[in-house]
């Protein structure tokens, strides 16, 4: 589960970024944030590029719950990358500077949620309320820390070899056997998307998020 999230983040975050940038600018809108619980100890606070393990309940304006990660589906908390519109913009804005163990209520206007179109059971122009608990915060695959960890020879570029070594390590860390064919495919996939200037390496600039539009 985590492995898939981490790896698919690496592959798909840029795509998400591109997709989201192509949409028109929405009017300025704010998320209303209420802190429901803040732990006494806070080792680090969430920032763009982190991955957060979250439990979330979602409510319509009339108070009806439309989703609960605790009661629906696999009833598991989910890993979510902050700042890349993996979920909705309202989450990217409303889940910054959080501690592990913190619980917040977010009231998200439609412009930062599912907008004019709505989605699935979310009707158009819905203001949504979320109760979100952050259970864990980790360095995202796009963080400065991850880049340094991957850049074995410290030349500020990621070679195919370095990316492959990283994938192998991540697999092992999460208890999966390394799979050379699979890693080769993933590396090819990652380079196709991330090596913008096709010079055979991923520069730190190519690797790092841009969050201009947030």
Ligand X SMILES: *[C@@H]1O[C@H](CO)[C@@H](O)[C@H](O)[C@H]1NC(C)=O
**Interaction site with ligand X (CB under 6 A):** 60, 62, 64, 123, 179, 181-182
Residue (125 or 195) nearer to Ca ion, CB: 195
Q: Pick one of ligand X, Ca ion, none as the site partner of residue 62 (Cβ within 5 to 8 A by kind).
A: ligand X
Residue (179 or 204) nearer to ligand X, CB: 179
In the complex, minimum distance from the CB of residue 156 to ligand X, in angstroms, rounded to a whole number:
31
Q: Pick one of Ca ion, ligand X, none as the site partner of residue 60 (Cβ within 5 to 8 A by kind).
A: ligand X
Regarding 199 and contact with Ca ion (CB under 5 A), the answer is: yes
Q: Which residue has the tokens 């998400």?
A: 16
Q: Pick one of Ca ion, ligand X, none as the site partner of residue 181 (Cβ within 5 to 8 A by kind).
A: ligand X
Residue (151 or 170) nearer to ligand X, CB: 170
In the complex, minimum distance from the CB of residue 142 to ligand X, in angstroms, rounded to a whole number:
24
**Are 143 and 163 contacting, i.e. CB atoms less than 8 angstroms apart?**
no
**Are 100 and 136 contacting, i.e. CB atoms less than 8 angstroms apart?**
yes
Q: What whole-number distance in Å separates Cα of residue 57 and Cα of residue 67?
A: 6
Burial 80-100 (b: 16+ CB within 10 A, else e): bbbbbbbbbbbbbbbbbebbb
Q: What H or E segment, with its residue span, contains residue 9?
A: helix 2-21
Window 128 to 167, contacts with Ca ion (CB under 5 A): 151, 153, 155, 157
The DSSP 8-state label assigned to residue 86 in this structure reads S
Q: Pick one of Ca ion, ligand X, none as the site partner of residue 204 (Cβ within 5 to 8 A by kind).
A: none
Q: What whole-number distance in Å separates Cα of residue 195 and Cα of residue 176?
A: 27
Q: Pick one of ligand X, Ca ion, none as the site partner of residue 155 (Cβ within 5 to 8 A by kind).
A: Ca ion
In terms of DSSP H, where are the helices of 151-179? 160-173
Residue (30 or 199) nearer to Ca ion, CB: 199
Secondary-structure percent of the chain, ordered helix, strand, coil, rounded to 5: 30, 20, 45
Residue (111 or 214) nearer to ligand X, CB: 111
Regarding 189 and contact with Ca ion (CB under 5 A), the answer is: no
């Amino acid at each position: 589960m985590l492995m898939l999230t981490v790896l698919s983040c690496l592959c798909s975050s840029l795509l998400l970024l591109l997709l989201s940038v192509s949409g028109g600018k929405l009017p300025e809108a704010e998320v209303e944030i209420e802190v429901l619980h803040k732990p006494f100890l806070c080792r680090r606070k969430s920032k763009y590029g982190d991955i957060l393990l979250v439990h979330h309940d979602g409510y319509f304006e009339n108070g009806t719950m439309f989703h609960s990660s605790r009661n629906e589906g696999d009833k598991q908390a989910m890993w979510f990358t902050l700042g890349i519109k993996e979920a909705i913009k309202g989450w990217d804005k409303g889940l910054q500077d959080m501690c592990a163990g913190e619980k917040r209520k977010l009231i998200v206007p439609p412009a930062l949620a599912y907008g004019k179109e709505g989605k699935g059971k979310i009707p158009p122009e819905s203001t949504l309320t979320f109760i979100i608990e952050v259970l864990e915060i980790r360095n995202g695959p796009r963080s400065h820390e991850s880049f340094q960890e991957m850049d074995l020879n410290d030349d500020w570029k990621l070679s195919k070899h370095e990316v492959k070594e990283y994938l192998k390590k991540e697999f092992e860390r999460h208890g999966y056997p390394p799979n050379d064919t699979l890693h080769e495919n993933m590396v090819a996939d990652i380079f196709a998307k991330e090596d913008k200037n096709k010079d055979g390496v991923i520069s730190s600039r190519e690797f790092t998020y841009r969050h201009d539009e947030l």
